[in-house]
Amino acid sequence: MKMKNKIYSLLAVLLMAPLMMRASSTKTLFDLANDHYNKGEYEQTIKLCDSLLKNNVESAAIYYNMGNAYFKLDNIPKAIYYYEKAKKLEPNNEDINYNIAYANTKIADKIKPVPEFFVKSWWHRIVYSLSEKQWMRINVGFFFLFLIAVVFYYTAKRSENKKRAFIIGLSMLVLSFITGGVGYRSYVNRTTHNTAIVFTPTVNVKSAPDEGSSTLFILHQGAKVKLMEETKNWQKIKIADGSEGWLPKDDFEKI
């Protein structure tokens, strides 16, 4: 039995070793990127962060550092792009939101957003109040409490206790569904790429997906747009003030 336990332990170590080495390598690269940033070596910071992303290591901190490095290099569109990618992972991060707001003061377009309906605003605050993983943990917790209530319901002998267990169980089930829905919405927000940043210095937004169509308005690099319907080479977009039009797909990059 002792020999078996030793074999299992050895196998566990062998299986975990690659993961531990990967985690150690990731931390080393990230720390090295920070060192380069502190030394003012912003190109090196970007290269190291980009190598992490290419190895499927994604985090708000990596995107945030890339945004800061591009900002220092005075590449404001790229800075906004990476800040926005960081925000998708941590929408309530104060540093990220502050830097997005500050970077947007450096671009040509000052687009005044349409006021958001209070119910929609309230819903967004709820969804973004916690991360996707946190919502799902709460969801599992409520479902676990529901199962406990079910056990109490079937084991209780007095009708009053059964009634309490039924009410509590039903409440926990409803809360489980609600938090599950909010967690799913958080997941959809993180994984849906329906916004983009304009990278062309100046672009004419057209009334139709055709160069010969009339120009509705002009956007400059760094502007954020919402992506709507598309054709092979054109994308219909919407900006924060509600204006819509068509852009060539080469003029922007999805967040």
Measured from the Cβ of residue 235, the count of other Cβ atoms closer than 10 Å reads 21
> Which pLDDT does position 203 carry in this prediction?
96
> Which pLDDT does position 25 carry in this prediction?
57
Sorted by sequence, the CB contacts under 8 Å of residue 18 that are 6+ apart come out as: none
- Integer CA distances (angstroms), 82 to 59, 68, 164, in order: 11, 9, 51
> Which pLDDT does position 29 carry in this prediction?
82
CB 220 within 8 A of CB 107: yes
> Which pLDDT does position 21 carry in this prediction?
46
CATH label, 2-104, candidates 1.10.510.10, 3.20.20.20, 1.25.40.10, 2.40.50.100: 1.25.40.10
In the chain, where the domains are located: 2-104, 118-191, 195-254
Stated pTM of the model: 0.78
Report whether CATH 2.30.30.40 matches the domain 195-254.
Answer: yes
Fold agreement between 2-104 and 195-254: no
Which residues, in sequence order, are bridge partners of residue 226? 195, 238
Each of the 255 residues of the chain gets a pLDDT tens digit; together they read 445 455 545 445 445 445 444 444 566 888 899 899 999 999 999 999 999 999 888 899 999 999 999 999 999 999 999 999 999 999 889 999 999 999 999 999 999 888 877 788 888 888 888 888 899 999 999 999 999 999 999 999 899 999 999 999 999 999 999 999 999 988 888 888 999 999 999 999 999 999 999 999 999 999 999 999 999 999 999 999 999 999 999 999 999
> Which pLDDT does position 2 carry in this prediction?
47
Measured from the Cβ of residue 196, the count of other Cβ atoms closer than 10 Å reads 22
